Amino acid sequence: MANVLEVKELSKQYSKVLAANKISFTIGKGEIFALIGPNGAGKTTTIRMISTLIKPTAGNVLVDGHSIISEPDKVRECITYLPDEAGAYKTMTGKGYLKFMAGIFADTKNQADEFVNRASEMSSLGERLDEKIASYSRGMIRKLLLSRAVMTRPKLAILDEPTSGLDVINALEIRKMIKKLAHEDGMSFLLSSHNMLEIEYVSDRVGIISGGILHTVGRIDELKERYNAANLEEVFEMVVNENEVP
């Protein structure tokens, strides 16, 4: 499986805090990779560096062969990023928002229309798409943003807490959608979540990060076996406790 993402010894130093320390991992084509860790572990910093939002202090990331340092514009053409607790422009309608974002990614009007149609269908918001986003519930906004994130069929979709704010049924739908897009359409995903059940259900491989260090990476069944744990939650607890700084 060819690698869509290669993270090589990625580090980020904020004045006194080393938020990410030589992080390395890869994501193959059509693979769903989840980065999990406690609050302040360095997940968001790592994701922001991969998304070209902040520059690394050391190391590099290649997305479809393009470096985030030397070719950030090319990288942005290959990825989409959905931040945790992200909102949308409240004065726009759902459709207006999709059109605006499609206009940013598409090169032609036809391509933009194609993106909007795909996102409209995936969001399953129906006629509500013609209403102002200000009237949407949190779950509806999340569905709109998720469909926006995958409408361009990016090589790598980076989703921070993809199902936060969604009810069980909607969360299930989204997980199924992610799996389908990865395994049938070959789209790669980098997820971050606190929901271990979700990660266990949806991810192919997992990386556990804490204190800015990526401690372990592997398939879920491998990790469970390695740590002699019944589920991912137990693995997570053991890894985090093992590496806790006193």
Partner 1 sequence: MKFLNLLKKELRELINKQMIIGLVITFAMLLAIGQITSSVMDDVGSDTGTVNICDHDKTDYTKQLIKAVSDAGFEVKELEGDSSDRAQLLQDLDVENLIIIPEGFTKEVTESGKSGVIEKISSMQSSSALASLNDKSSAAVEIMENTTKQYIMTKNGLTAEETALIDSPLSINEVTVVKDKSAAISSETISSLISTQSMVIPIVVFILVMFTSQMIITAISTEKIDRTLETLLSAPVSRISVLFSKMLAAAIVALINAAIYMLGFKGYMGSFLEGEIDASVIGEALTVNDIMKDLGLKIGVSGYVLVGLQMFMTILVCLAVSLILGALVNDAKSAQTVLMPIMVCAMIPYLVSMIYDINLLSPAVRTLLYAIPFTHTFTAMNNIMFGNMTLYWGGLAYQVVLFIICMFFALKIFTSDKIFTISLNFGQKRKLKKANK
217 secondary structure, DSSP code = E
As a whole number of angstroms, the distance between CA 30 and CA 189 comes to: 8
**Shortest distance, position 246 Cβ to partner 1, whole Å:** 13
Does 103 bind partner 1 (CB under 8 A)? Our answer is: yes
Q: Which of 9, 58, 65, 85 binds partner 1 (CB under 8 A)?
A: 85
Helix or strand holding residue 230 (H, E): none
Q: Which of 8, 100, 222, 224 binds partner 1 (CB under 8 A)?
A: 100
Of 40-59, binders to partner 1 (CB under 8 A) are 40, 48, 51-55
When the beta carbons of 52 and 216 are compared against partner 1, the nearer one is 52
**Shortest distance, position 148 Cβ to partner 1, whole Å:** 8
Residues 192, 84: contact at Cβ < 8 Å? yes
Residues that contact partner 1, how many (by CB under 8 A): 32
When the beta carbons of 114 and 200 are compared against partner 1, the nearer one is 114
Does 105 bind partner 1 (CB under 8 A)? Our answer is: yes
Helix or strand holding residue 65 (H, E): none
> Going by C-beta distance under 8 Å and a sequence separation of 6 or more, which residues neighbour residue 186?
29, 30
C-beta neighbour count of 189 within 10 angstroms: 27
Long-range contacts of the stretch 109-112 (C-beta < 8 A, 24+): none
222 secondary structure, DSSP code = H
How many residues belong to the chain? 246
Pattern 106-145, partner 1, x by CB under 8 A: ---------------------------------------x
Of 1-40, binders to partner 1 (CB under 8 A) are 14, 40
DSSP labels for 171-214?
HHHHHHHHHHHHHTT--EEEEE-S-HHHHHHH-SEEEEEETTEE
Assign 131 to helix, strand or coil.
coil
Of 214-243, binders to partner 1 (CB under 8 A) are none
When the beta carbons of 112 and 223 are compared against partner 1, the nearer one is 112
Q: Which of 81, 115, 136, 236 binds partner 1 (CB under 8 A)?
A: 81
**Shortest distance, position 176 Cβ to partner 1, whole Å:** 24
As a whole number of angstroms, the distance between CA 143 and CA 122 comes to: 8
**Shortest distance, position 220 Cβ to partner 1, whole Å:** 28
Does 92 bind partner 1 (CB under 8 A)? Our answer is: yes
Which positions lie near partner 1, rule CB under 8 A?
A: 14, 40, 48, 51-55, 73, 76-77, 79-89, 91-92, 96, 100-101, 103-105, 145, 158
